[in-house]
Structure 1
């Protein structure tokens, strides 16, 4: 432990000595006026950026036909406007100083700050491709710190200091420098994996020769493979021993298997759903009281959107173990049944013919699959019928087509004098009826 503390102390002393020597050089008269010039340029860049910002916003709003990626690019430049103006002013000042005096020391600090500011600006623009906000900020800060130390000449002493901040477990040693390298390498690999996954996923989804469920399965396998490879390659690149990690992950996996049985069950059920193609995005399903369209197939759940805009997240296990009605599994043909009744005084033959005719005239009802109407019983107040017809677009809704056919029945019955009875009760009051005599 004393050796570790001694190494940290020596690294810190070396870093402080180099930092103190650099700070002393800033108080040279030729450096002081450069510091003042840079401060004035920063203030001027701030004022110019504030003056340009509303004009840039107006210019962006005036171009309504721009694509989304173009608007995002302009938004990024809009946020970095102050830095862009400062970089332009700093390089312009360095050029003017070079024309005035041939001595490089008179413009050294201005060029150094301009170079660092340019590197910061490039890093800030490039890291925008990282969608995860935390990871993007982490990579940006680490990139800014690295280029600053690189141009100031502090990379080696800072690396030695970070490497001295280490923890040792037997033969395994991990330092702050190793952790930073792992974060940077893994972040870069994850970004590359995301870009590759996006390109490949777009091609897979656009391939009409692959079924929708197999597209989802292929995309998920691709994502797991690329992200997993990026993770392990990142660990290996910075010197982690993956053998010990494999033993540890195996032990953790056994523990998680007992504690997360439902989660694992949903994950396995999701893979089974994708393989057996029982449901796929776009299918219309009914599960209990839920009726809607499958929006997406997730690793743990299926997203089902109903007609009223509600989105239900149904666990994959429920689709495997429960009874699911898939209205569009093998084909899109769906038969619907409507029940109605008419008066006993109406001719049932005429009622059946009118009902079939009304259904066949309704839009969305198939003409090549004839509708039928049958008597199903004699009720207390009406003769009861069932009307059956077919549609081929359940994704357009079932309640609305039922309502349209009911409305067509109403119009047809009204036009032909067919009555739809409703329950009635008669109360008769008998004449000369005497109330019962009270008991003595």
Structure 2
């Protein structure tokens, strides 16, 4: 039966043409003994794959399962391989079908049916990979909307014609020209490359952070340098995959240079200041700093543009890196240096003040966070007050007397208990009132 489709749109005519090709192909397969033998080989290959996968799955599960609680690199690799076990069946079917295809082609000089079955098993492997194994949101999105359609087109034999058509379509941006196929390759390769870049950056950062013998600032600088290098290489590889001539980037480089000269001066200044901070190590993550502008807090993160301070009341302050270079910065905890604090107190005038220093110094020294170096606790006489004799004890600790640390409070408790235990009175304010003349009479 023939239909006149000359008046129909071109897409309808092409669809009808492809339908006729598929119909003729299916009819030739149905009437060909070679096609039936290939169908039989496909079934045998699949059943053999089911049998072998069932045997191998249990064995591989026992071999690859790491000990409970183990977090070594080998254990993590074994867990990753365990996630790929669902691919065992379609990949085995693909492999057995490929062997059958070589046999069929040597016997019948034809293997279209079994080649289609092989591509179908590959599509099932890709579908299993996307649906059951990939968990990263970006990769899952690329797999669902790019990889699966590509695998489906390959399975039905339409990938090569479509790729040829897309290679003919070009996109031009200024003096940069590339095909639609290059753009598709760039999307796929870009997603994979930048995911691999992010993963390798995280692994490298964890490894560098574990090197405790390195200065914190040097660890930060090394991690940032490696991150920049990884993504630069990924970007250059992506341009190469897309077929873009790298010399065309000269125009973009010139535009970036002009932007740095005008609108991006602050960004460039903050970036360079951040590099200087990381190299010199004057302020790094974990330090408690105070700037001239009044900003104070612990540095919890240093980025290419700014440092993030966290105050003890939970607020975050974003401070541009340039402020650390151009203004005065007080660092209370650089390189783990100790800080000195003092706790004031008073005793009664009836006290033998020569007994007070050794009693208080011994009591304060019992605090687990009070240091003996650079100086042990030192109790000093500060003056003679209206209600008592004023003392203060100076002590050194690693850390700040704020937030989770309450050093002065703890020391005052120790002073109170030590004075009570030794019978030393702590005075309270009082006044003596003197009346001149007769006292006022109270009438009854």
TM-score of the pair, normalised by structure 1: 0.69
Check conservation: 1:139, 1:187, Cα contact below 8 A: no
2:250 corresponds in structure 1 to: 246
Q: Extract unaligned runs of 5+ from structure 2.
A: 1-8, 51-66, 100-106
Unaligned residue ranges in structure 1 (runs of 5+)? 1-8, 46-62, 96-101, 435-440
Q: Structure 1 residues 297, 378: CA separation in 2 closer, same or farther (over 3 Å shift)?
A: same
2:406 matched residue in structure 1: 400
Determine which of 416, 421, 425 is the counterpart of 2:427.
421
Determine if the alignment matches structure 1 residue 184 to structure 2 residue 188.
yes
Deviation, 1:249, is 3.8
Residue aligning to 1:432: 441
**C-alpha distance in structure 2 between counterparts of 1:273 and 1:241, whole Å:** 36
Which of residues 319, 328, 333 is equivalent to 1:328? Answer: 333
**Is structure 2 residue 379 aligned with structure 1 residue 370?**
no
Residue in structure 2 matched with residue 337 of structure 1 by the alignment:
342
Query: What is the aligned partner in structure 2 of residue 59 from structure 1?
Result: none
> Equivalent of 2:385, from 372, 379, 382?
379
Deviation at 1:334, TM superposition (A): 2.2
CA RMSD of aligned residues (A): 5.3
What secondary structure is seen at the aligned counterpart in 1 of 2:285?
Answer: coil
Query: 298, 303, 313: which one pairs with 1:298?
Result: 303
The answer for the alignment partner of 2:276 in structure 1 is 272
Aligned-pair CA distance for 1:231 = 0.7
What is the CA-CA distance between 1:336 and the residue it aligns to?
A: 1.5
The number of residues matched between the two structures is: 409
Q: Which structure would you say has the larger RCO, counting Cα contacts within 8 Å and 6 or more residues apart? A: 1
**TM-aligned CA distance change 1:156 to 1:212, over 3 Å:** same
Partner of 1:235: 239
- Is contact 1:11–1:157 with CA below 8 Å preserved after alignment? no
What is the SS of the residue equivalent to 2:380?
Answer: strand
How far is 1:395 from its partner? Answer: 9.9
CA distance in 2, matches of 1:23, 1:270: 67
Where 1:272 maps in the other structure, the secondary structure is helix
Task: Calculate the TM-score normalised by the size of structure 2.
Answer: 0.69
